[in-house]
Amino acid sequence: MSELDVAIAIINWNTKDLLRECLESIYLAHPLVSYSIKVIDNHSDDGSQKMVLEEFPDVELVENAGNLGYSAAANQALRQSSAKYVFLLNSDTRVERETIDVLFEHGEHDEEIAIIGPMLLNTDGSTQITGRNFPRFVDASMHAFLGIFWHMNPWSVRYKMLDWDRSGDRLVDWVSGAAMFIKRDAVEEVDYFDENFFMYVEDLDLCYRLRNKGWQVLFTTEAKVVHHIGKSSEQSNTKMIVEFQKSMYRFYAKKYKESWRRFLKPLVVVGLFARTLMLITASNVQKIMAETRVKEEKET
């Protein structure tokens, strides 16, 4: 076993207050394993760096000269660490008690597990949908459009495993990168995250490559992390919608580069462009409706 059990790495971009909450939650969890904490800041301009230096002097701060995206920042943590495990966290997360120790115990129990995903909870305590199947071509195509308006369509149900109540541990295809407990030697074998993914789908891609090498991915309900979802990406919502579709195309191109489906890439581009317009329209409509509700409440 390495001298250090777990390296906790938090990737931050302009979420100072949430980052503070995340760091505080780790100390309050009182992990029994040996651990270190590192914040990788992607050039925030909200005072995040100063907050870390002044309030958490024991935390190592890496200040990037620009926003490198999730994959590159995650790889910094993985490549610079000597710990057996790296616990990657979004800055908009809060770690519950015993979570880190539980994840470590699971990793030690089964040598074939490369990644463990804890149960993710929304701010209100409801369950987020992490732990999914790899998207098959038809499922992904139907989910991409129907999932916007009809969440419980059969293809989305199969892809997102919506017929599973997530009440117990289970091997899954992939888990969310918002909270990902990683066996460092395993990801080194597949050359870490693919940095061509700036944001989104990099977690799916990593798990896919690990599974192709024989590694397993575990979802566990015994470890819990609260995820205030989308607090970084909502700062530039339209840009992030576009970035998500670009990442989906990159994954498609990689997955089917040796398949006859590579000839369908022009159709995929058209489909993703149409989905982008639909998502941006839906987002703008929701924003207008929310602003209208607020205005009406003030007037009454």
> Would you kindly state where each structural domain of the chain is located, as residue ranges?
6-131+166-230
For residue 113, which amino acid is it? Answer: I
pLDDT value for 197: 93
What is the C-alpha separation between 19 and 53, in angstroms, rounded? 12
Q: In this structure, which topology does domain 6-131+166-230 adopt according to CATH?
A: Spore Coat Polysaccharide Biosynthesis Protein SpsA; Chain A (3.90.550)
Per-residue confidence (pLDDT) for residue 149, from 0 to 100: 86
d(CA 127, CA 115): 20
Cβ atoms of 88 and 183 within 8 Å: the answer is no
Residue 11 token pair: 């990737």
Q: Please choose, from the candidates 101, 141, 96, 113, the residue with its C-alpha nearest in 3D space to the C-alpha of residue 275.
A: 141
Q: Which residues of the chain have pLDDT under 50?
A: 1-2, 233
Tell me what pLDDT residue 230 has: 59
Q: How far apart are CA 224 and CA 170, in angstroms?
A: 15
- Best CA proximity match to 203, nearest among 212, 190, 194: 194
Q: CB within 8 A of 253, min separation 6: which ones?
A: 262, 265
Residue/partner pairs of 102-110 with CB below 8 Å, 24 or more apart:
102/220, 102/222, 102/223, 103/6, 103/181, 103/220, 103/223, 104/5, 104/6, 104/33, 104/181, 106/181, 106/218, 106/220, 106/222, 106/223, 107/181, 107/183, 110/216, 110/218
pLDDT at 1: 42
